[in-house]
Every structure is written in structure tokens, then in C-alpha cells.
Amino acid sequence: MSGLVHLTRDGDIGIITINNPPVNALSIGVPEGMAAAIQTCCKDPSVKAMILIGGGTTFIAGADIKEFEKITSGEKPIGNALFQLFPLLENCSKPIIAAIHGTALGGGLETAMCCHYRVAAASARVGQPEVKLGLIPGAGGTQRLPRLIGLAKAAEICAGGELVSAAEAARIGILDQLIDGDLLQGAIAFARQVIAKGGVPCKTSDRPIPPYDPQAMSAVKHAVAKRSRGLLAPQKAIEAVEAASLPFEEGLQREAELFAECLFSEQSKALIHVFFGEREVSKIPGIGQEVSKLPIRVAAVVGAGTMGGGIAMSYANAGIPVLLKETGQEALERGLANLRKNYAATVQKGRMTQAEMEQRWELIQPTLNYDRFTEADIVVEAVFEGMELKKQVFAELEKVTRPDAILASNTSTLDIDAIATATSRPQQVIGHHFFSPANVMRLLEIVRGKETSPQVIATSMALAKTLKKVGVLVGNCHGFVGNRMFGPYQREAQFLVEEGASVQEVDAALVDFGMALGPFSVADLAGLDVAWRIRHEVQHQVPQGTRQPLVLDTLYERGRYGQKTGAGWYRYPDGSRMAIPDPDVQQWIEEKSHQSGIVRRDISKEEIVERVLYPLINEGAKILAEGIAARAVDIDMIYLYGYGFPAYRGGPMWYADTVGLHRVYERICQFEQQHGAEWSPAPLLKKLAESGKKFSDLDRDRSINRD
């Protein structure tokens, strides 16, 4: 028996405990240990029933995801010990009760469904979240779950990937009983009841499927298609669930075929890359766990505008009291009104109770002065994007905060070191670039200055987790990583409309690729006035003769700042967020093109995608070479969580690897010949392409060298 699985007794009941911390994953040794324990109990006539329970804080949180990578690389076959364990579990002549606390996810729920009965603590959650990795349940989940709860509900759970509370799981039939008090003692009591009734196992696979509801299934399919644009796994999950109407063994075979189709897809490989990438970015080269972190008990935010208000909400939502400062009462009231509106909308959508809203609202303390800023462990500056204004604020913060307070700027592009010169403690200064809306978007781009202390960096990374953000550490340059890459992305989108594409054609091509929004919709959402200010902040650095977009200035001069003014690249009538194509914009584009001697032409969707995305990749390669980003995966996480890049494509650098760096490099060279020096290929991209390597190889090499 594996040391990961322990067998004990309570009279005539065998207790099989999984101890594979931290989440009791079904990694090598766990299924084997469970099988050995079951066989031992089966051979012992004094054992009348068994309980399967997880040690620590959870039941089984799923399979070991690294095993999937080994399968797709050819390192091991697709079959594993689970396929021997599950028939042993289900066909055992003695009843086996799964006792669930924490979570039973993926293979964990599949294990529980192979048991004859399932009980759980009231706080437990269950689910089949495999679709979030581009997979479907592959060990009978799509066949057993419909036999417990019906086809439509099983399709909803398998295709949606969302977790189900214990109360709901008991209501719909996944669980047989909820346990109050001690889970193990409750499970033992349940087992004795089963024994008293004859101790007959109840096999899930023998159950008939509940009556089919075609309307409910149609509703599930419609909902999944709407929210899973471009994704393979949710559709395959529904196919697999529908195969449960076949004889059980045939359904298992169909599930296995669909699982393999998903596992070897580029989408699954990308989503597994994202899963590990989110964890990888928290590891900072040169800053280990031994670096102490400052306590963040009280925060302060300077500026109650859209960004400042969203940042304040992020702190309040994490349970951290936050001072919110504005310079005038009118601006402060306007900011607070927006916060109330945002919270009210969250309550209306059922994502928060009224009591929770009131609790969080009380944590936000509005102020017109710095009187209480000595209480703050961190201050986030969120004023307009202008260097002189930010320096002024930091000079004021120097006087009103404690020497150990972290001074963070929410700047999206400006030089953190220049901002730090306004203080006498640059070691406490760091960039905390939130993304709008700050209370929703998961990315926090953390910008280290040349003198930022390791303690401030470590505290910032830990704080990101507290705020439920994905913190990514980057170096200091104009635009850092995200916006530095976003500049060429937006530039080429504007050049494409000057050369013949329409605004909506460019947006549609990128949305079809999988982006959450097209570049022009994003610009309207962020504010064209912001883009105009950023561009003019660095205009003096642009070499003479460099091609510049022609229409942005026209829109700015006409007061068309995007959604906030009801018009930008699109129109937004009556305050709507629905973008309406504007013939006036098309006319201005064509006039500017004609005045500049640009001959307009038809542009294919393929060229649009390459022209807009390949600059991201090229700029990303430059950023890697300069050390602004430590790893290609850092860039991927920034674009996934901050810019709406489709997760199933893995991020821009992972996507480049899937296209092939040689192909990307060749096209960039062609675009350089056609469009000039702005397309000059990054030396690192050239080097990797010519050596047949990938960005992922670069990350692996750097990790090995660092270790």
C-alpha cells in the first residue's frame, strides 16, 4: 500500500485516508494505494463497509495536471491507474462511502461517483472543471453524472466547469447526505445505517438516466455556445454527456475518444500552459520566501476617479480599510456615487448580498485631506497620467506618510524612477498598474524601480494575491510590458483602416480570433483622450519621418473620447455601450488617407490578424531581451488577464510558438520591406527562429540556469 494512502479501522468499517498534500491530487501512488486498501478490506471478512476520505483540508481536488503534459509529449500512455481503480471501486461487493470535505473536483468527483454512496460536509463543493483546461471529464464523469442528475444538468456542470455547493449537490442528487459536525463520525454513522439495511452497494453505472428534458438540454446548449465562443471542450463535454444515453461501456468509449481529441488539441495545451503560468509568475528570480513582507492593514488611494474608485473597491473587497482622497467635494461625491452604483449593480446581479455590500462600503473612508495618511501601510496614487502631477502628489506623500509606507503609482506608462525622484525614499516606491475596471480585472502589473527594495516587491506580490489579482513583476520602461506592446498593436490597427479596412472589419477579425474586444472597441472603452495624452507625452522621442496614425488627433479634437462621451471610433447613443459604426469616422479616415497619398485596397482577415498581432510578438521579444519581463510566460499572463487575449491561445508568446517562430519571423521581415523600420525584427526573435527554438524553450533554459 502506498504511503500516500492509509488504512485504519473503526470496528467493522475500513477507513481509507488519502494523504497527498496539499490537495490530495490523484498523482502516481494515490490510485495504487487506494486499490491496495480496497483489496485488503475486500479480503477481510470482518470489514463490512469502507469510507474513503481525504486527509488535511480537502477530499480530492483532481488529477495531477503534469500527467497530462507527459501524455501529450509521448512520455507516457493515456491510460493510467485510475482506469484500474474505478472498476475496483464500483464493483466492490462491500459498500464504499465517499466522505467529502473541501472540494471533490474533476477526477476527485469521478472517484466519489464510483463509490456507492456520497456524504459531505456542508461547506464542501464539487464539480467537473476540466473544461477550464480545455478538457472534458475522462474517467467516466460524463457517463456517471447524468445517471445521478439527468442529462441536462450534467451537461451544464461538465460544459460550464463551475463548482456546485454541497447543499445544491445534495438537492440535485450528487450527494446522498450532508453531515453536520465531524465528517468522519457522520460518515461512520451513515455506513452503519447502510450495513443495517443489508450493506448492498449501489452502483452509479447501473442507475437509469432520469427522464430526458429536451427543452432544458436546448437551453444548456444555447447558454454554452453563447459564453464559450471559440472553445472546443465545452461542446465536446456536451457530446460526451449525450453519449450517456448509450449502454454504459459504449458511453465510456465515446467519452475516451472525445477526451483524447481535447487532450491533444492546441487549446488544451494552451490552457494547461495558462494554469501553470499563473503560478509561475509568482516566483520572482532573486527574491525568495525568506524576504520578509510588510503588513498591509490600512490602505489609501489618492484620486477617486474611475481607476481610483475601482482600486479602493479592490481593497475593500479584500477586507482592507481604505482611505479615498480627492481634492474637492464635488469630485469626491461623484466618485462615491460611481462606487455606490457599481456595488448596487453587483448586488442586483446576485454576486454579493446587501449585507456584504454594506460591510465593504464601511471600509471605504472618503477624505479631502491627508490627515489620516499616517495610518496607511500603502498609498496608491491614481491621478491623471501626467508626470508633473504625479511628482507633485509623491512630494506631498513624502510629508504625510510613515517612512515605512509603500508609495505605489497606478501609472500605466510613466517612468517609475522619475516619479520616485520626488521622494527621499525611492526604495519604497513601486508601480501598481491596475487595469480598468480595477475591481474586476485580475491583472496587477507590478513595476520595480531601480531602487525598489526586495521587501516592497515581495509585499506587492503577496498583496496581489490578497486582492485576488494575478501579480506580474516587470521592469521600468515607457509602457512597461502591457502598454509598451499595446502601442504597436493599436498603431497597426489604425494603419490598416488608413490602408483600406474598415474599423468594424479590423475589430471583427480580432474578435473572431478570440480577443474579448477589437482594438478600436478597446480604445473607446479606455478613452481616446488617455491614448492622446500618452502619445503626446512621448512625442518628442519619436524619430522624424516615422509614420504616425492620422485619425486619432481628429477624434480627440472633436471631443470624441469614446464611450465616456458617447462617440469615439464608434457611436454610443444615449449612453449605451453598444458600438454603432459611424459613417463620419469612415469619411474622415478616407479623407486622411487620400491627403497622405495612401492607395486604399482590400485587406484580408488573415492580414489583419498578422498585422495587429505580430507587432505584439516582436515587441515582446525585445522586452524579453532587455529583461523588462523575466519570462515569456509573464508576458502571456499580462495579455490574458489585462488585455483580453484568448486563454485558449495561451497568450501572444505561446501563440507565436504554435504558429512557429520561423513563420512569424518571415512575415515580420516581409512587413518590414513593405512598411518600413517600425517592423524591424527583434534580434531575439531572429535568433530563436533561426535556431528552431521557441519562447517556451527560452523560459525553460532561463529557469534551469537560475536554478
Contact 244, 209 (CB under 8 A): yes
Instruction: Give 657's Cβ-side CA count (13 Å radius).
Output: 19
The catalytic residue among 67, 69, 75, 130 is 130
Specify whether the backbone of 569 is left (phi greater than 0), alpha (psi in -120 to 50) or beta.
Answer: alpha
Other CB atoms within 10 Å distance of the CB of residue 253:
14
Is 130 tagged catalytic? yes
d(CA 457, CA 291): 9
Contact 475, 447 (CB under 8 A): yes
DSSP state of 424: S
d(CA 301, CA 264): 47
SS (H, E, C) 3-22: CCEEEEEECCEEEEEECCCC
Specify whether the backbone of 414 is left (phi greater than 0), alpha (psi in -120 to 50) or beta.
Answer: beta
Q: Please state, in angstroms and as integers, the Cα–Cα distance from residue 527 to each residue in 53, 143, 548, 645, following that order.
A: 53, 49, 19, 19
Contact 166, 104 (CB under 8 A): no
CA nearest neighbour of 115 among 25, 30, 16: 16
d(CA 699, CA 707): 12
Residue 10 cell numbers, joined: 473503526
SS (H, E, C) 586-648: HHHHHHHHHHCCCCCCCCCHHHHHHHHHHHHHHHHHHHHHHCCCCCHHHHHHHHHHHCCCCHH
Contact 263, 288 (CB under 8 A): no
The catalytic residue among 32, 69, 75, 110 is 110
Is 32 tagged catalytic? no
Query: Which helix H or strand E contains 378, and what residues bound it?
Result: strand 378-381
d(CA 175, CA 204): 12
Residue 655 cell numbers, joined: 501563440
Q: How far is CA 639 from the centre of its chain?
A: 10
R_g of the chain computed on alpha carbons = 28
Q: Which residues are catalytic?
A: 110, 130
